[in-house]
């Protein structure tokens, strides 16, 4: 590594992390990606291995088995994993960011000492369940309820689209899920939302279905979860009643930042694919990169990728697991880097012609995977709404 400061690898530790993840990706992630996408399977064993590399609890509290690293480290891990397999990376994100980072920032010492070590070493794989069949962007429209009865909460409702919600095709649930549920009304009249940590063996909790036939991200499992008089002991409430909005706020920035980082991995891989193909493929007696239209695909992609990359890493700079307290740029990077990645993958397909349209050449999978980034973790329209509201508020 040269000594020049770079926001992409601000410290030697970041550079070492990048090299380590890139090496693992080449050896272990790349060889399985095509098969797991084609068969719509989640590679649980590979996921567990990320624990021994310190990646599952990458930003988690190091007093409880986490790696205690910053948001830049999380961005590096997501960018490198997505270079080969965004579907697998989405499962990694759902565990390491939606569950583990959230849990590490927001859970009390009792829950953390009991579960964070397993979440970090890969023996405990989990998920986060906010979305419902009838409420996604409109989070406060959720209808899953939790009612305190004695020393237990009774949860009723359904959660939809939950990444890692099941671990296989037989409906085996994740080891534990952070679940958001309505516990009453705030004094303002708004629904009061509370977070619960539901373990797989809690009575009344089950997997409704594994959602099949997804366009992309097929290397991750997506499930519907069912809570039918599900019994959750009081000690498994995370924080106090009504704390969910704070939990969401503290976790949202790093969630969106790492989803944007996934876009960077997709774009870099697509760019690499189109550059090398355009150098090898000849038409009309010359390599196709000699054609101006192909040059435009390549050069526009490079410049757009670099612009998004600078924005993502600049936003990550110095950010801790709780974010920065200002969501504008985490919404902003997701708005920019996700669509950029879809466009770059699209151009890569075009540059590869017929070959770009089949699985073996990877870019069609990246294009399918990229589309999810415009929806999951907040739709493009939600980011547009948030950024505009915040800019108007700050006038």
Ligand X SMILES: Cc1cc2nc3c(=O)[nH]c(=O)nc-3n(C[C@H](O)[C@H](O)[C@H](O)COP(=O)(O)OP(=O)(O)OC[C@H]3O[C@@H](n4cnc5c(N)ncnc54)[C@H](O)[C@@H]3O)c2cc1C
> What residues act catalytically?
255
76-84, 123-131, 199-207, 318-326 -> range binding ligand X (CB under 6 A): 123-131
Q: Find the radius of gyration of the CA atoms of the chain.
A: 21
Residue 385 binds ligand X, judged by CB under 6 A: yes
**Which of the ranges 69-77, 159-167, 194-202, 353-361 carries the binding residues for ligand X, by CB under 6 A?**
159-167
CA distances from 17 to 55, 76, 91, 96, 106 (A): 9, 8, 20, 16, 26
Q: Is 87 in the site for ligand X (CB under 6 A)?
A: no
Dig out the tokens for 131 from the structure.
């979305």
Near ligand X by CB under 6 A: residue from 153, 161, 202, 297: 161
Interactions with ligand X, residue window 188-227 (CB under 6 A): 214, 217, 222
Part of the chain binding ligand X (CB under 6 A), chosen from 35-43, 46-54, 347-355, 381-389: 381-389
Cβ proximity to ligand X, 308 vs 372, nearer residue: 372
Binding mask 43-82 for ligand X (x = CB under 6 A): ----------------------------------------
Which value, to the nearest 10 degrees, does the dihedral of the CA atoms of residues 64, 66, 68, 71 take?
A: -130
**130 lies in the site for ligand X, by CB under 6 A:** yes
Nearest alpha carbon to residue 310 among 63, 113, 72, 145: 72
Two tokens, residue 39: 């068969």
Cβ proximity to ligand X, 162 vs 230, nearer residue: 162
Told to check if 376 binds ligand X by CB under 6 A, we report yes
* Of the candidates 313, 188, 314, 330, the residue with the CA atom closest to the CA atom of residue 249: 330
Among 105, 294, 319, 372, binds ligand X (CB under 6 A): 372
Residues 106/60, Cβ–Cβ less than 8 Å: no
- The yes or no reply on residue 278 touching ligand X (CB under 6 A) is no
Binding segment for ligand X (CB under 6 A), chosen from 58-66, 143-151, 258-266, 378-386, is 378-386
252 scored as a contact of ligand X (CB under 6 A): no
Would you say the C-alpha torsion 298, 300, 306, 308 has a positive or negative sign? Answer: negative
Bridge partner list, 220: none
User: Is residue 143 part of the contact set for ligand X (CB under 6 A)?
Assistant: no
């Amino acid at each position: 590594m040269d000594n020049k400061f770079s926001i992409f690898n601000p410290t030697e530790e970041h550079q070492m992390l990048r090299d380590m993840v890139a090496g693992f990706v080449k050896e272990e992630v790349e060889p399985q990606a095509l098969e797991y996408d084609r068969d719509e399977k989640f590679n649980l064993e590979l996921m567990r291995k990320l624990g021994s590399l310190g990646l599952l609890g990458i930003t988690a509290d190091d007093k409880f088995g986490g790696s205690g690293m910053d948001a830049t480290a999380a961005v590096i891990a997501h960018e490198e994993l997505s270079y080969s397999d965004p579907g697998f990376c989405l499962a990694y994100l759902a565990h390491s960011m939606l569950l583990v980072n959230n849990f590490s920032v927001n859970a009390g010492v009792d829950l953390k000492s009991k579960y964070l070590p397993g979440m970090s070493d890969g023996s405990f794989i989990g998920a986060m369940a906010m979305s419902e069949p009838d409420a996604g962007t409109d989070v406060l429209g959720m209808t899953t309820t939790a009612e305190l009865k004695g020393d237990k909460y009774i949860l009723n409702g359904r959660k939809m689209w939950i990444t890692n919600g099941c671990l296989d095709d037989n409906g085996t649930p994740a080891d534990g899920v952070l679940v958001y549920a309505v516990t009453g009304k705030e004094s303002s009249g708004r629904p009061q939302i509370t977070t619960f940590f539901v373990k797989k063996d809690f009575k009344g909790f089950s997997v409704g279905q594994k959602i099949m036939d997804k366009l992309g991200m097929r290397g991750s499992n997506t499930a519907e979860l069912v809570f039918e008089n599900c019994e959750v002991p009081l000690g498994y409430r995370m924080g106090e009643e009504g704390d969910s909005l704070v939990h969401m706020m503290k976790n949202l920035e790093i969630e969106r930042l790492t989803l944007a980082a996934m876009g960077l991995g997709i774009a870099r891989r697509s760019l690499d694919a189109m550059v090398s193909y355009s150098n090898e493929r000849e038409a009309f007696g010359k390599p196709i990169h000699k054609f101006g239209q192909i040059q435009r695909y390549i050069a526009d992609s490079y410049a757009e990728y670099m612009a998004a990359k600078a924005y993502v890493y600049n936003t990550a700079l110095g950010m801790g697991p709780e974010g920065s307290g200002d969501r504008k740029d985490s919404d902003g990077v997701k708005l920019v880097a996700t669509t950029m990645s879809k466009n770059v993958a699209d151009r890569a397909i075009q540059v590869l012609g017929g070959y770009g349209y089949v699985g073996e050449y990877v870019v069609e999978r990246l294009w399918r995977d990229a589309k999810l980034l415009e929806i999951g973790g907040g739709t493009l329209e939600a980011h547009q709404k948030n950024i505009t509201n915040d800019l108007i508020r700050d006038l």
